[in-house]
Amino acid sequence: MNREYLKDFSEIYVFQVYKLFGTLRDVKRFLNGLRSTLPAIKNEVNISDFLILEILRIFFHEIYRDIWLYPWFYIPTSWSEKTKLRSPYYQYEILGHVSKNPKYEISKEHIESLIKGYKENGEIIRSLLEKLFFVEIPIVFGKASSSEGFDIVDCRIKKRITHPECFEKYFTLSVLEELISDEYMESTLQSWKVSTSAAEDIENLMFNVLQKENRLLQFINKLILFRGLITKEIGNSTMDVILKNVTRFSREQHGLIGFNSEYERAKDLLLFIINEHVDKEKMQDFLIEIIKNVAYLPFAVLIVLYCRRERGSLTDIYESIDLESLQYETSVRLKEHFVDGKRNIFEEIENDDDISFVIYQWGTNWMTFKGKNHEIVHSYVLDIVNEDPKKFAKFLRFQKKYVGGGTYKIPLNEFTRIYDIEDYKDLAIKFKDHEDLSQEEKHIISEFLEEANRGLEQISDSP
C-alpha cells in the first residue's frame, strides 16, 4: 500500500471514517473483512477506493449492494462501450445532455431514500460516495453541473472504481479468465525491461501466444493504456516488432465502433510510442525512414494519414513534422514501386480495402488534392483496367461510398478530381456487356455509366 493511497484514504478517514470506529469490535470487523477481500485483487484496484468501498460493505451494506446492482446511478457508464448500453439513460448520456437527463433527479431520490435508512450517518455516506464516485455523485447532490473535464485515461490507469472497466473487479474480486489483468500487463512490461532479448520476447508473446488465444487486440489496447510504463528501449523494440510484422496483425474489426482491429491498433501504438519517445528534432527523419522501409506499402500510407493533426492527439508529432514532405516521400515510393516498377496494385495487394485506400489517398494526396498525384494515379489505373473488364468493375466498386438509406454511389465530384470521366465512361461502354463479367459486375458498370452520363449532362448544361 503506497503513500499516495494512504494519503488519499487518510483524508477521508480524518474527516469522516473515524466516526465509525467507536469500539474495538468495529475495527476488527473492518480489518477481518479486508483480510478476506483485498489480497485476491490488490493489484487490480485503487487501494484507497477499495478501502472506502469496504467501509460501505461492512457498515452500510444496503448502499454497497445498491452500487453493484445499479451502477448507472454512480458511474459514468458512457465511458465504456460495454456499460453504456446497460444504462437506461444511455440515449441522454451518449449525447451529453446533462440538463435534460432525468437520471440525476431519479438518482438523487433513489440514493437519498437509501441514506435515510442510516439516519445519523447520512453525512458520512454522502462523503464516501462523493469520494468514490467523484464524476457523477456531485451532480446528483447538486454540487456540480457537468461530468465533462475528467481525464478518463488517468482514471483507468489509476484503477479508480468510477471507471466502468475497473468497477466490476471491486465486487467480484477477480478478473475474468478471458481478460488480461492489469497485473499481467505491469509484470510483462517489467520483464521486458530487464530482458536481454526484448524484441524477440515481444514478438513471441504477441504472435505465438496471445494471437493464438484471440487476445492480441486486447493486449495491444492495454499496451496503449499502460504506455506510460513503456521505456524508450522497450518502445524501440516494440516498434521494430510492429514494423517487421505488419501483415501478421488481423484486420478483423471488434466492437460497435470501427478502427478496432489488431492492425489499426498496432498503428496507434506505433504512433503513440513515436510521439512520446522519439526526440522532436528527429521525428521527421524517423517517420521518413519508416515510410521508405516498411515492407507493406498500405501501412506507410496509413501512417502518413494519421500524422494529420485532425486525426488524433499526437501533439509532438504534429508540431515536429513537415506533413507535405511526408506525403511527397510516400508518393515517390508509390510511384517508383507501382508505376516505374510496372507492378499491378490489384494483384500485389490482397486486401481490397487496402487497394482502395492506397489509390484514394495517393490520388488525392491525402485528401488535400494538391500537386500532380491525380494525374499519375489516373494514368496508372487506366493502364491496368483498360484491357481487363473485371478489374475495371472492381475499381468502380472501390469508388462507391455510403450515401444513406442503404445506398452506395460513386461521388462524381470526388471522382472527377482524380480521374478523367470521359475515359472511364468509354471503358464502361466497352465493358458493360462483356461475357467475362458477372451480373453484379455488369450492374456496377451500368450504374456508373448512368451516373457518368447524368454528370456530363449537368456539366454541359451549366453556364
Residue 232 has pLDDT above 50, yes or no: yes
What does the pLDDT average to over 366-390? 95
Q: How far apart are CA 310 and CA 297, in angstroms?
A: 22
* Residue 444 grid cell: 456496377
What does the pLDDT average to over 290-301? 97
* Residue 293 grid cell: 522501409
What angle, rounded to 10 degrees, do the helices at 103-115 and 61-69 form? 160
Q: Which pLDDT value is given to residue 1?
A: 44
Q: How far apart are CA 2 and CA 430, in angstroms?
A: 75
What angle, rounded to 10 degrees, do the helices at 297-305 and 262-277 form? 60
Q: Which pLDDT value is given to residue 348?
A: 96
Q: Which pLDDT value is given to residue 50?
A: 96
User: Band of the pLDDT at 431, cuts 50, 70, 90?
Assistant: very high
Residue 79 has pLDDT above 90, yes or no: no
Q: Which pLDDT value is given to residue 48?
A: 93
Q: Read off the pLDDT of residues 114-158 as tens digits, 9 standing for 90 and up.
A: 999 998 899 999 999 999 999 999 999 999 877 788 999 999 999
What does the pLDDT average to over 18-40? 92
CB 199 within 8 A of CB 234: no
Which is more confident, 423 or 89?
423
Mean of per-residue pLDDT scores for the chain: 91
Q: Which pLDDT value is given to residue 96?
A: 53
Q: Which pLDDT value is given to residue 463?
A: 52
Q: Which pLDDT value is given to residue 332?
A: 98
CB 362 within 8 A of CB 331: yes
pTM score of the predicted model: 0.87
In 10 A of CB 179, how many CB atoms?
15
DSSP 408: E
Residue 98 has pLDDT above 70, yes or no: no
Q: Which pLDDT value is given to residue 88?
A: 78
Q: Read off the pLDDT of residues 323-349 as tens digits, 9 standing for 90 and up.
A: 999 999 999 999 999 999 999 999 999
302, 304, 308, 312: CA torsion to nearest 10: 50
Whole-number percent of the chain with pLDDT over 70: 94
User: Band of the pLDDT at 100, cuts 50, 70, 90?
Assistant: low
Which is more confident, 329 or 456?
329
What does the pLDDT average to over 87-92? 71
Using alpha carbons, select from 34, 1, 156, 19 the residue that is nearest to residue 83. 156
Q: How far apart are CA 338 and CA 130, in angstroms?
A: 61
H helix or E strand, kind and range, residue 407: strand 407-409
Q: Read off the pLDDT of residues 256-266 as tens digits, 9 standing for 90 and up.
A: 556 789 999 99
Q: Which pLDDT value is given to residue 445?
A: 95
